[in-house]
Structure 1
């Protein structure tokens, strides 16, 4: 199955009605869910998760432009500390979990991507959205634009443009290219999240324009040395 994820596919598409609902959780609650070679960004003992809720349209592989698909994509994007790769600036996320209500997209996503895509019930009534899976759910109601109440959060979320994963023994990164990313602070009420026991709402943003973007093939960043091999290397002497 992992062999298909190694195929270098460049996707292109449109982002419509982007909502970014951001919340923090205790670091201890998520650190066991992340590969050891990806470092979680520390916000005073808490981890930040930027939940994206977006309508993906006209998505297609660049080499097969006639193969197109549309679906609603919702993901828990965990902010990671990748400053060592970016001259001291962190810009990356790790897909902790991702959801859609289209089974075919789940099957395809699991075969070809590192989204960690799962099936979920998604229900929308106006600006109120419910994402449910079993006895867990997220609910929120997005509102009108509001003056930014947390400029640091807006800058932090606005800078995210790459996703990290681990496949086999390799850390990989996918770069996302957008011509613009005009996120605006918006009111958000009725936030509930039972996927995490320590979830605390931090702020919400929205993009009101259609965004044209490219999702580039993953690039290998670093090979991971298994502990047994590392120990053998340390114990080897040359004369």
Structure 2
């Protein structure tokens, strides 16, 4: 009986720890860009993943701001069934030269996706929006501020920029850019074909984190169970 109680306690501890570790991940779902890394000067396809976090409303509109202080010359959108996509352009303070030698005076500064009634992102579902970008600017990162509009009129502003040592309440999607080297150039050339597969493998970052935390919780819980059993075995037998 005593061993059974130890086993039950260990299992309960493992379950509680796993739930405690997994909860912050589930609660922190937000608009993300995947993959979240690319190479300066190159072209890339990114996917904006938008989850609906409300129980009583659906996501009907998504707006992504494209910074123009370091403009991106080419912005192409992949159609999403049931959604209408539109871009807005802004005049550049300083015109830039394109790869073709032309002078660019305007650049895409905003993308807006609007859902048909049947295509809205229902509660606890998500949708993905693909965008091709390039050439990417010579900066360390691009912050894509996002607005998410719900069917009840609520607008969630995912615009908080990353800050060292602080966790933003409404973080903006961030694409980190690395400098182009011979190694990265060869890697980009080799992997240019299966772009979708590469995106899929990195787009599950938050899911992978949740799984990792869950496994860690189970390992810690099982470790506690083993310690309990060993303690039980070493304990002196009860006297009459």
Larger radius of gyration: 2
TM-score range, shorter chain: under 0.3
RCO higher in structure (CA 8 A, sep ≥6): 2
> Greater strand share, 1 or 2?
1
- TM-score (structure 2 length as normaliser): 0.22
- TM-score (structure 1 length as normaliser): 0.22
> Greater helix share, 1 or 2?
2
